[in-house]
Amino acid sequence: MLTLTHALLAASLLAGRVSTDIALPAQPAPLHGTLLTPEAPTAVAVILPGSGPTDRDGNSPLGVAASTYRLLAEGLAAQGIATVRIDKRGIAASAAAGPAEADLRFDDYAADARAWAAEAASRAGKPCAWLIGHSEGALVALKAVEGGGGKVCGLILLSGAGRPAGVVIREQLEAGLPEPLKTQAFAGLTELEAGRTVADTPPALAALFRPSVQPYLISWLPLDPAALLAAYDGPVFIGQGATDLQIGVADAQTLAAADPRATLKLWDGVNHVLKTAPADRAANLATYADPALPLAPGVAEDVGAFIRVNER
């Protein structure tokens, strides 16, 4: 009977939900997103996208069509939680708000996240909004609350790295670059982490070290997600899939160790786009292109339950 009651409640909330395109004033142009509101929402959250040209639904022209963020928003709406999912600065409907590559800094994304939290809270009539960061969006969320939470209720960190980007990039280059390129790349990363630009990089490393992207790398590479989390006082949920090919369980455990009060949830058989997937690489990646495949059971439910328990 309890299960039937929950099902009827979810159906009622879904029937009453309203999807609205919204704009957030910004320079040089507004930012855009979608507000999904169930009837009488109990909380509101902002879903922050991962890296690259990932849009508000969690899709990308680079071959990702899983619609992870849309599905998560719908799963939270069924639990009475409103969401704003966004096109980040420079992407999709927010393309006009993107600065020249040489002018972009990681702090820009963090400032936008704080502004979206305030906007979401205002539109939902709540004192604050949760930040749900997926993949690189988890680091954006952590940076957004550095020095204080503002209008942020708490953090939901999904498939987020637990180590600085420079450490992860070195691991990737270790296996893929021959000498002497590897030595040159590592030296370049060290310079950027110290806040110094790099000149005269070999053509093979031009994509990574092009002059226009170096200011952004300088703003991003030194960030330590575990250190940022350790300094944050609000409620934190860390969710990680065990068959994630991009971020490992060890990263989630590193984050959890930085904040003993955080809630850590490891999902068996769940991949980076939060869908049920095997460890086999080809089969795992096939889920990235399947918007009809639902989120793995428990993902939206666990996130929603944490928000509801910690809502203020």
Looking at residues 18-34, what average pLDDT do you find?
Answer: 97
Q: Of the candidates 147, 123, 124, 120, which has an alpha carbon nearest to the alpha carbon of residue 132?
A: 120
Instruction: Tell me the average pLDDT across 43-72.
Output: 97
User: How far is C-alpha 234 from the chain's CA centre?
Assistant: 18
Q: Which helix (H) or strand (E) holds 115?
A: helix 106-124
**Nearest of 22, 27, 115, 132 to residue 73 by alpha carbon:** 132
**Does 14 score more than 60 pLDDT?**
no
pLDDT beyond 90 at 11:
no
| pLDDT on residue 15 | 58
E strands, the chain, are: 18-24, 31-37, 43-48, 81-87, 129-134, 152-158, 236-241, 263-267
291 cis-preceded (ω within 30 degrees of 0): no
Would you state the pLDDT for residue 192? 96
Mean pLDDT, residues 114-120 taken together? 97
Distance (Å, whole) CA 214 – CA 198: 8
pTM of the model: 0.92
Is the pLDDT assigned to residue 157 strictly greater than 90? yes
What is the pLDDT confidence band of residue 202, given thresholds at 50, 70 and 90?
Answer: confident
Domains of the chain as residue ranges with CATH: 2-163+224-310 (3.40.50.1820), 168-216 (no CATH)
Q: What percent of the chain shows pLDDT beyond 70?
A: 95
Q: Considering only CA atoms, which of 83, 78, 75, 77 is closest in space to residue 6? A: 78
**How far is 117 from 78, CA to CA, in rounded Å?**
21
179 contact partners, CB below 8 Å, separation of at least 6: none
Task: Give mean pLDDT, residues 161-169.
Answer: 93
Question: Which distant-in-sequence residues (6+ apart) come within 8 Å of 200 by Cβ?
Answer: none
- The answer, yes or no, to whether residue 10 has pLDDT greater than 60, is no
Evaluate if residue 2 carries a pLDDT over 80.
no
Q: Is the pLDDT of residue 1 over 50?
A: no
Which whole number is the average pLDDT over 189-208? 92
Please state, in angstroms and rounded to a whole number, the distance separating the CA atoms of residues 214 and 250.
29
In this prediction, residues 32-42 reach a mean pLDDT of 97
- Written as one string, the DSSP assignment of 50-88 is -SSS--TTS-BTTTB---HHHHHHHHHHTTTEEEEEEE-
